[in-house]
Amino acid sequence: MKLTMGTRGSALALAQSGMIAAELRRLSPGLAIETVVIKTSGDRFSAAKPDEAYKLGSGAKGLFVKEIEEALIDRRVDFAVHSAKDLPAQLAPRLAIAAYPQREDPRDAFIPRAGARLADLAQGARVATSSLRRQVQLALARPDLKFTPMRGNIDTRLRKLGEGACDGLLLAAAGLRRLGRADVAHELLPTELMLPSPAQGALAVEIREDDDATAGLVARLDHASTRLTVEFERAVLARVGGGCSTPLGALARVEGSGVSVQIFLAEADGSRARRFTRRCDDPRRRDEFVASWVAELRAG
C-alpha cells in the first residue's frame, strides 16, 4: 500500500513529518509513503514581506495549512502533518484530525547569546520573538526588556543570535528537540511565567473524513491524553478567537479523571492581562465548560 503525505518544506516541518512517516512504516511494514512538499500562503508571505507577516495578526492563523488542506480535499495527498498550533480553530469542511501523536514538551525556551539566564539579562536587553503572546507575558515580568521581531527557521534565528542581532531569543522547546538541537544552551520557561500557545508541542495528522483506509492506519498513532488536552486547548482557542493578534496562552493537563486548564489572556496592547486555572471534572462536558469559562473571562 502507498500513501502520499503533505507537509510544508521547512527543516522543522520535514523533520516532523519524517518522524510520522517512520512510525507509520514501523507499525505497518511494507507501507510506502511519498512526501509531497507544499508551499503555503504563510511561507510565501513571510518570505516576501517578513515585517508585514509579523503584523498580520489573526490572519496568520491558518495561512500555514490552507494549501495543504486544499491538497487533501482535492485528493492530491492522503494525509498531512501539521504543527498543531498552526491549525485554525475550525478545520476545513470534510477534514478531521485522525491522530495527535504523543506530545513533546509544550514549554517555551529562552536561548541566550552569552550564557546568561533570563533573570540575569541586563536592563534593556533585546529579546527576539515575533509572538505577541510571548512578548506580553515576558513584559509582565521584565518590563525593561526590548523586543525585536525575528522570523526564519530555527538555524537562521540561532545564527542571527550569534551574530549579535539580539541578546536572547524565544522558541518552542519542541522545535529544538525535533530538529536535534537540544544541545543548544537554553532555559525552559516555567508556565507560571510563560504559558504556551494552544496545542504547542503537539503534532496533528489530518485526513479526509471519508477516507476510512487511511484513518485506520493513521489512528494507531493517536495518543489519548494528548488528544484530550490538545482538544481542550483548541476549544479555548475557538471560543476566544483572535488568532495571532490575541495574546493567548493555554495549557491543559490530565488530573485523575478530570482536566486542569490554565489560560493567559490579554488585549493586543498587553492591557487587562489575566491568568486563570480551572478544573473540568467531566471532560465529556468540555465545550460547555470552556464556553462558560471564556464568558467569565470576558466579563471580568
What count of other Cβ atoms lies within 10 Å of the Cβ of residue 35? 15
SS3 content of the chain, % helix, strand, coil (to 5): 40, 25, 35
CA 157 to chain centre: 18
The β-bridge partners of 173 are none
Report DSSP state, residue 210. Answer: T
Contacts of 103 (CB under 8 A, 6+ apart): 174, 201, 202, 223, 226, 229, 230
Contacts of 229 (CB under 8 A, 6+ apart): 103, 251, 252, 253, 254, 259
Asked if residue 158 lies in contact with residue 128, where contact means CB atoms within 8 angstroms, the answer is no
C-alpha cell recorded at residue 194: 510563560
Spot the catalytic one: 43, 51, 78, 86.
86
What is the side-by-side strand order in the sheet with 146-148?
146-148, 126-128, 168-172, 108-112, 187-188
Give yes or no: 86 in active site.
yes
Burial of 261 (0-12, 13-18, 19+ CB in 10 A): buried
**DSSP-derived 3-state class of residue 96:** strand
* Active centre residues (catalytic): 86
